[in-house]
Structure 1
Amino acid sequence: MDEDQSGGGPVTPSVSEARLSSVLGTAVDGIVVMDHQARILLFNTACEKLFGYTADEVRGQNVKILMPEDFALAHDRFVSNYLTTGEKRIIGIGREVRGKHRDGREFPIELSVGEAVTPEGRQFIGIMRDISARKAVEQRLAQAQAQLVSMTRISALDEMGAAIAHELNQPLTAIMLYLQAAKRQASSGSGADSKLVEIVDKGVNEAERASKIIQRMRRFVEKREPERRAVAVAPLIRECLELVTLGNACDGVAFAIDVEDDLPQISADPVQVQQVLVNLIRNALEAVRAVEDKRVSVSAGVRERDMIIRVSDSGGGVPAELVPNLFKAFSGSKKKGLGLGLAISRSIAQNHGGDLAVEQAGSGGGAAFVLRLPLSVGRASAEAQDAGEGMKGSSE
């Protein structure tokens, strides 16, 4: 406080000092004042909230205490260079830097630095604003834009896939017809060559197989309205496995399939269910790619009025912290992909009256995704009728 010139003792701070104190105390942005040796002279309330230190703790400390190590190493050089040469690299120029909280956490800040010449010497004023929220929004926007571009490419690939499948089907059909004609020619007359007939037979079978694969791919990618009907589970799962393993590096992966042929039918859109199963099996293959023991298993069975299809792997499992958001859009942890696969898969399952969940695969490690789908109406009604008959018989 100022001394009374008349000798009457201390007086209250001047109006300008009171105003300055009010501004510093109520400012939303952090304000720090340093001397020419970068020692902190003033540290306002916003700075205390921003960095976690009290003003008393940092007063007299080098301002480097508020910086990550890489910034701190360069700071003294910048100050010395300015005082020696007068070259301004930071002063009067706003820039993005990183601050360091008391707990060690780093965060982005927008910094502007000014200079003041005072009776105590040259001082520097730093004004700082936490831009973590803005950077998070910018990052989400960039991700959304990248995902939109990727989805546009996927949509174009879908259309190209359907067109390619259509175009390839025609030459494959011609090849099959030529092979069948060659077979008839080779097997006619007394000099029929049994080995040649066998080879041509194999060629016909492979052409038919290629044609079926292309037809499945075309059904898988083409756009159409959903349809619900009774679907046999075993052939549907096997078809999905063929689609996934086609062209994929599955060497060294042991597949275990526990699916009985006489399982009851489910009420579903076969293409949508294929989409779910293909996604789950592909994820399982990806999960075991980096482990020594590569195992993927698919099983199916009936539980009450539902079909339970389980896809498990021997990979590293799903970290507990990821499980709550695992089925949310754009939350995938893979470096490639949109993070939409599991979200869409669960949505499809729930639209069918079922669900999709994840659990640990057991003692062998890895993860298991459990797809629950309702049985077809006829099967469910028959089971309900059987249960009713049993209760009626017991009551009699």
Structure 2
Amino acid sequence: MTSSFVHEFRNPLTSIHGFVQLLRSENPQLPYLDIISNEIEQLKFNISQFLMLSKKEIVSIEMTSFSLNDLIEEVLSFLYPRILEVNVDIQKHYLHEISIHGFKDEIRQVLINIIFNAVDVLKSVKNPIIQIELDITENSVIIDISNNGPKIPEEMVDTIFEPFVTTKKSGTGLGLYVSKNILEKHGGTLTCQSNDDWTTFTIIFPIL
């Protein structure tokens, strides 16, 4: 039922995306088309979360080796209109060039979920900052994604990865749940720490 329900949303989105592309080709100077396209892509990712939750769709076909550094840059480029709208200062600390083996589309979705959520909570913050740190140890690859938004209440930190739990008024409460499941499928973990200064989501991949 979930799969049928979600496909009813995906089909008109595909049509809208096609007409946006047509408008872009006929009116290249028309403003806001990039924002519309990126919002449509975000809706598609939300739809994919519902489909993954229903076990009806596998986002990636096979595992590949890919650059984690390049994937983060790709995600930041994808989210750039939203980052620009909120005027977020993205601070990157890549201590190494790192490649991992996994389902690239799924890891991309995890990064989009976490960074998009971070941008969203910074809408009302003065001097909003997101810090992305990428490091590697003997046994693990570690990604820390931190924002200086409001502290997550302690009682929510313990439940934030459960389905339909969200701190956002318009959130589905599925992004972090799906992200955690994806990372666990890769043998990794996703955790959160939050205080008055920073909220940090830590992703750890084992080095196989």
Q: What is the aligned-residue identity percentage?
A: 22
Match of residue 72 from structure 2: 237
Match of residue 266 from structure 1: 100
Matched to 1:233, the amino acid is L
Checking the alignment, whether the CA contact within 8 Å between 1:229 and 1:268 is kept in structure 2 is: yes
Distance 1:259 1:157, change over 3 A: farther
Distance 1:335 1:169, change over 3 A: closer
Match of residue 86 from structure 1: none
Checking the alignment, whether the CA contact within 8 Å between 2:59 and 2:105 is kept in structure 1 is: no
CA displacement, residues 216-273 of structure 1 (integer Å, 9 cap, x when unaligned): x59x75765532111111110011112222355534321111225x522111111111
Deviation for aligned residue 1:162: 4.3
Is residue 365 of structure 1 aligned with residue 194 of structure 2?
no
Structure 2 CA distance, aligned partners of 1:305 and 1:340? 29
Checking the alignment, whether the CA contact within 8 Å between 2:190 and 2:204 is kept in structure 1 is: yes
Alignment TM-score, normalising by the size of structure 1: 0.41
Match of residue 356 from structure 1: 190
Deviation for aligned residue 1:156: 3.9
Structure 2 CA distance, aligned partners of 1:283 and 1:365? 17
- 1:280 partner SS: helix
Match among 272, 281, 287 for residue 121 of structure 2? 287
CA displacement, residues 83-103 of structure 1 (integer Å, 9 cap, x when unaligned): xxxxxxxxxxxxxxxxxxxxx
CA displacement, residues 92-125 of structure 1 (integer Å, 9 cap, x when unaligned): xxxxxxxxxxxxxxxxxxxxxxxxxxxxxxxxxx
Checking the alignment, whether the CA contact within 8 Å between 1:250 and 1:285 is kept in structure 2 is: no
Alignment TM-score, normalising by the size of structure 2: 0.73
Distance 1:354 1:250, change over 3 A: same
* Aligned pairs for 1:301-340 within 5 A: 301-340=135-174
- 1:258 partner SS: strand
Deviation for aligned residue 1:171: 8.0
What is the aligned-residue RMSD (CA, Å)?
3.2
- 2:130 partner SS: strand
Q: Which has the larger radius of gyration?
A: 1
Structure 2 CA distance, aligned partners of 1:374 and 1:334? 31
Q: Which runs of 5+ in 1 are unaligned?
A: 1-147, 176-202, 204-209, 381-396
Q: Which runs of 5+ in 2 are unaligned?
A: 29-33, 49-56
CA displacement, residues 34-59 of structure 1 (integer Å, 9 cap, x when unaligned): xxxxxxxxxxxxxxxxxxxxxxxxxx
